[in-house]
């Protein structure tokens, strides 16, 4: 699968399901030929069959003492399956997990701590913050950045050209608003932005120096009522008003790529894979879609974006700790990261590898934006906030005329209560 869907990015955050750990997932001591059998769980569609075969062949040639056994897991049910594996005596040696899932697994003490070996992995300052930061818990590094994806602006190049707008010159929010207003004429929606696209709002909040929630004095508190977050919501309101997006639903209801495919929508904010959906629904738009990073407050830095993607973790009970480290070092190292990025149109795990995807316009736009990537608040309780999702209700309230300050205070209070309910 060439591109990850927007729904899958959300799955990376929530991670839920019903399946229990199966007996086929555990590690074995040997491969029967003197080699060490290394069991690895990778997620459905995170690698293609071709890349998987190439990596297995290359890895085993470089490390003939290891018999690599990759098992593809389904996203549905993976949360409980990983939890069960970490508590068992038969865990796999390496597991791919959604980047924002690491904290909940680390909290139980079930993951190996790699804090002292970050240098061996070539990590640290070069890692994408949106992967590395949620891969840590209480100052220790448990998740190793694997790959990333984030939202960009998908636009109609023909409508931009007709309006006399060069997308390469849209570098700031003010320029974006001006261009979108110019596009919003003659039956064209300057932008289709649904009212509850809270991931996009999150980016604006981070740009303003705020956060959805922050830890203070050992306690998590909602942050939607901070001055910066209120400025972010005001910008969202102004941008959303330049189109006809619904105020009471998110990007999946209806699917925004399908809305753009129907005709006169100049822009949406989505992962680049949305362009493939648009072209499938309306072949007349093939070759008429382009990409640019979400603009920032100033021209020298792209807008903040939510980073979806995966980290690699090792269960504390895994039988082959050194071999697992070797696998992670290879798969997250520069050579295989470049190959993975090209094969799967992902953003590599290091900012220094962005050039690897320069020939893919959508992925290049993602990589440019990924340098300002962030993740949701790094607490195991954040999944409970998303289950209630007071952020969506808050956004709809403001867009339909409620006082922003009061609505933000109510939503922040709910976030605070939810995060404190289990801490």
Q: Which residues pair with 66 in a beta bridge?
A: 36
Q: State how far the Cα of 35 lies from the Cα of 252, in Å rounded to an integer.
A: 47
Domain ranges of the chain: 6-149+308-374, 152-305+379-420
Task: Please tell me the class of the 6-149+308-374 domain.
Answer: alpha beta
Task: Please check whether the two domains, 6-149+308-374 and 152-305+379-420, share a CATH topology.
Answer: yes
Among the listed residues 145, 98, 101, the one whose alpha carbon sits nearest the alpha carbon of residue 126: 145
Among the listed residues 366, 367, 374, the one whose alpha carbon sits nearest the alpha carbon of residue 307: 374
Tell me the C-alpha to C-alpha distance, in Å, between residue 104 and each of 89, 216, 249.
19, 20, 28
Task: Please tell me the class of the 152-305+379-420 domain.
Answer: alpha beta
**pLDDT values of the chain reduced to their tens digit, one per residue, 423 residues:** 333 333 344 333 333 332 223 333 444 456 668 899 999 999 999 999 999 999 999 999 999 999 999 999 999 999 999 999 999 999 999 999 999 999 999 999 999 999 999 999 998 899 999 999 999 999 999 999 999 999 999 999 999 999 999 999 999 999 999 999 999 988 899 999 999 999 999 999 999 999 999 999 999 999 999 999 999 999 999 999 999 999 999 999 999 999 999 989 999 999 999 999 999 999 999 999 999 999 999 999 999 999 999 999 999 999 999 999 999 999 999 999 999 999 999 999 999 999 999 999 999 999 999 999 999 999 999 989 999 999 999 999 999 999 999 999 999 999 999 999 754
Among the listed residues 247, 101, 270, 261, the one whose alpha carbon sits nearest the alpha carbon of residue 199: 270
């Amino acid at each position: 699968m060439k591109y990850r869907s927007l729904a899958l990015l959300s799955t990376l955050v929530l991670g839920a399901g019903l399946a229990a750990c199966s007996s086929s997932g555990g590690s074995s001591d040997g491969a029967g030929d003197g080699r060490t059998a290394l069991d690895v769980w990778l997620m459905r569609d995170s690698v293609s069959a071709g890349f998987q075969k190439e990596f297995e062949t290359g890895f085993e040639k470089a490390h003939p003492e290891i018999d690599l056994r990759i098992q593809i897991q389904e996203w549905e049910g993976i949360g409980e399956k990983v939890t069960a594996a970490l508590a068992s005596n038969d865990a796999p040696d390496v597991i791919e997990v959604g980047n924002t899932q690491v904290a909940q697994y680390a909290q139980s003490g079930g993951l190996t701590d790699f804090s002292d070996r970050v240098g061996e992995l070539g990590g640290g300052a070069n890692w994408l913050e949106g992967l590395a930061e949620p891969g840590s818990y209480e100052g220790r590094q448990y998740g190793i950045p694997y790959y990333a994806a984030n939202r960009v602006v998908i636009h109609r190049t023909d409508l931009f050209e007709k309006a006399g707008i060069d997308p390469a010159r849209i570098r700031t929010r003010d320029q974006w608003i001006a261009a979108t207003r110019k596009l919003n004429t003659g039956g064209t929606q300057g932008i289709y932005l649904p009212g509850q696209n809270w991931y996009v709002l999150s980016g604006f909040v981070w740009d303003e120096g705020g956060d959805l929630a922050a830890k203070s004095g050992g306690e998590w508190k909602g942050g939607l009522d901070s001055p910066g977050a209120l400025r972010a919501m005001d910008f969202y309101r102004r941008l959303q008003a330049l189109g006809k997006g619904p105020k009471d639903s998110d990007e999946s209801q209806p699917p925004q790529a399908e809305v753009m495919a129907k005709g006169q929508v100049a822009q949406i904010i989505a992962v680049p894979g949305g362009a493939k959906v648009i072209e499938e629904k309306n072949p007349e738009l093939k070759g008429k879609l382009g990409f640019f990073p979400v603009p920032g407050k100033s021209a020298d830095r792209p807008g903040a974006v939510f980073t979806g993607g995966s980290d690699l973790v090792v269960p504390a009970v895994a039988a082959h700790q050194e071999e697992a480290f070797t696998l992670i070092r290879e798969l997250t190292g520069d050579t295989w990261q470049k190959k993975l990025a090209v094969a799967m149109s992902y953003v590599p795990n290091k900012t220094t590898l962005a050039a690897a995807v320069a020939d893919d316009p959508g992925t290049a736009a993602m990589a440019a934006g990924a340098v300002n990537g962030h993740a949701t608040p790094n607490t195991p309780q954040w999944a409970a906030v998303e289950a209630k999702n007071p952020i969506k209700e808050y956004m709809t309230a403001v867009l339909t005329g409620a006082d922003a300050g009061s609505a933000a205070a109510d939503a922040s209070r709910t976030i605070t209560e939810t995060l404190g309910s289990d801490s």
